[in-house]
Structure 1
Amino acid sequence: MQLRNNISIADASPTENGTPGPFDGPQWPYQAPRSTYMMVAALMGTVVVAATFVNGLVIVVSVRYKKLRSPLNYILVNLAVADLLVTFFGSTISFSNNANGYFLLGKSVCEFEGFMVSLTGIVGLWSLAILAFERYIVICKPMGDFRFQQKHAVIGCTFTWVWSLIWTTPPLFGWSSYVPEGLRTSCGPNWYTGGTNNNSYVMMLFITCFVMPLSMIIFSYGNLLVTLRLVAAQQKESETTQRAEREVTRMVIAMVLAFLICWLPYATFAMVVAIDKDIVINPTLASMPSYFSKTATVYNPIIYVFMNKQFRNCMLTMMCCGRNPFATEEETSSTASSTAGRTEVVSVSSGAGTKVSPA
């Protein structure tokens, strides 16, 4: 079955051949076997539980410990809030729909879900980009002694929401639309219907909400790695410097790969379908990029927050009733700020070069 024909009846009642519409009844076995819907429901159920726990924990720990209220952590909390909203408005509804085999809440909720998931998903993407840019500014110091402060973090968080609203509200007013996609149990932007109206929106969304944040991430982390390599080359005799450089390199690679693995399939699928409306794609395969992108709500906090030594210590202290059983003596007595995957580049006395130290 052609994907175009599969989606073109998204707003219709039962079709002429008796296939129920996406809001009328179970889509099995017309789109996929019932077992497929049950497996997707199990995946979404797991995501709901895990994402709610880890992102909720991020917010609770950040509120409880004042020393975590650094400018960087404002962005991390913004990311956690966005991930929680994706979980509530996206993964939870998808779980219920897949368990029932169709979008049982109706067309209006479908449009609202598509809007909210797009809005909060893009907020999360841009939060990652601003997080990368903050590290570039602090570590590579392209602006001299500029300090990333609370007001800058607030501006950055506000930007993610305003920018996302700019690009996710047009489908509500006629520039494209939000429709059931793939297995017809979740909704998203209309990549499927041809015409200048939809194609222009898909292209703009692809550029402003995928290419731009990805470019910022690659630029920031690329410059960060170059800077750390140069510093490490100057301090070949320092095992601490070499270890810090290796740790940050692994962290950066993990961050970029996680971003690409999560969002590249979805962006690629959208562009391919928008360009070639006659392409034949199995409904199950068409749904996978959307559902897979929702799993980012689980591993985002693991990569960007739980690898933050200071946050990890506060979390363990809270969960273990005031004592961190894994903290070393140095970690227990230290009050210095540390950030997820962050390494400080510190200038020392002239002639000694520059020192890399893990924060």
Structure 2
Amino acid sequence: MDSRMFSGQGGLNYSFNMSDDRELVDAPAGTERLSPTGFVVLSVVLGFIMIFGFLNNFIVLLLFCKFKKLRTPVNMLLLNISVSDMLVCLFGTTLSFASSIRGKWLLGRSGCCWYGFINSCFGIVSLISLVILSYDRYSTLTEYNKRGPGYHKSLLAIGGSWLYSFFWTVPPLLGWSSYDIEGAGTSCSVSWKVHTAQSHAYIICLFIFCMGLPILVMIYCYSRLLWAVKQGPRSI
């Protein structure tokens, strides 16, 4: 038995790696790994995203709290996007950053499920908030909604974006598809490569309701908005 098992940091690293391998024994066998240089580059990129993404969104939160004039219904939706993006940097990107430094996923199966869930959840929250904003910008220019949304509607929209996201990101935790290692082996996401009927059904539903339809709604709203602006005051 290697003596490093009983020596300080080496022993801790050995035990941690052994535990991690046991928990990820069912990880995809064909996962491609980067070269040492590739992991360094990936670590630098993720570190940049983590630090500046968190700071930028945190500044938005501070400004919103400090200046009362910014607390409008529309800005609350923008704040919702900033909060979700900040949470991704804090609870998601930090994990993939640490794993990229080591060149492997560090938190085992449960950590992989956590990472996949929060990244999917916060990402869908941001996307649905953008959809709501696009509809708000369009409807504000119509004669039926000149005043724009109130605080009550904005709060309902924010709550709805989180419930909608939970609706589509919790199922993999309950057995409908799953979250697993992806890419270079330092991050996790929905199990795209699992060839089962349940997994395929979930991926199709996720694509339709969490990407396809939201994008179509935004295209429609901004297209109508652009058309209304080009037509002039009479069309608004």
Q: What's the TM-score bracket when you normalise by the shorter of the two chains? A: 0.7 to 0.9
Cα pair distance change 1:31/1:164, threshold 3 Å: same
Cα pair distance change 1:354/1:197, threshold 3 Å: closer
Matched, 1:63 2:76: no
**Counterpart residue number, 1:248:** none
**Counterpart residue number, 2:166:** 165
Offset from partner CA, 1:234-285 (integer Å, 9 cap, x none): xxxxxxxxxxxxxxxxxxxxxxxxxxxxxxxxxxxxxxxxxxxxxxxxxxxx
2:184 is matched by which residue type in structure 1?
L
Secondary structure class of the residue paired with 1:81: helix
2:82 is matched by which residue type in structure 1?
A
Task: Give, in whole Å, the separation in 1 of the partners of 2:151 and 2:127.
Answer: 20
Secondary structure class of the residue paired with 1:180: strand
Secondary structure class of the residue paired with 2:54: helix
Task: Give, in whole Å, the separation in 2 of the partners of 1:126 and 1:144.
Answer: 21
What is the aligned residue count?
Answer: 214
1:196 is matched by which residue type in structure 2?
A
1:206 is matched by which residue type in structure 2?
F
2:172 is matched by which residue type in structure 1?
P
Task: Give, in whole Å, the separation in 1 of the partners of 2:143 and 2:121.
Answer: 31
**Counterpart residue number, 1:179:** 180
Matched, 1:85 2:87: yes
Matched, 1:148 2:161: no
Give the drift of 1:77: 0.5
Give the drift of 1:142: 5.8
Determine which of 2, 9, 12 is the counterpart of 2:25.
12
Task: Give, in whole Å, the separation in 1 of the partners of 2:135 and 2:177.
Answer: 31
2:87 is matched by which residue type in structure 1?
L
Matched, 1:47 2:16: no
Task: Give, in whole Å, the separation in 2 of the partners of 1:195 and 1:157.
Answer: 34
**Structure with higher helix content:** 2
**Counterpart residue number, 2:98:** 96
Give the drift of 1:88: 1.3
Question: Are the equivalent residues in 1 in contact too, given 2:27–2:180 (CA < 8 A)?
Answer: no
Give the drift of 1:14: 10
Structure 1 gaps, min length 5: 1-9, 16-20, 232-346, 348-352
Compute the TM-score of the two structures, normalised by the length of structure 2: 0.85
Cα pair distance change 1:73/1:104, threshold 3 Å: same
What is the Cα-based RMSD across aligned positions, in Å?
Answer: 2.2
Cα pair distance change 1:13/1:144, threshold 3 Å: closer
Question: Are the equivalent residues in 1 in contact too, given 2:54–2:86 (CA < 8 A)?
Answer: yes
| Runs of 4+ residues deviating >3 angstroms | 144-147
Secondary structure class of the residue paired with 1:187: strand
Task: Give, in whole Å, the separation in 2 of the partners of 1:39 and 1:110.
Answer: 22
Task: Give, in whole Å, the separation in 2 of the partners of 1:14 and 1:191.
Answer: 12
Give the drift of 1:147: 3.3
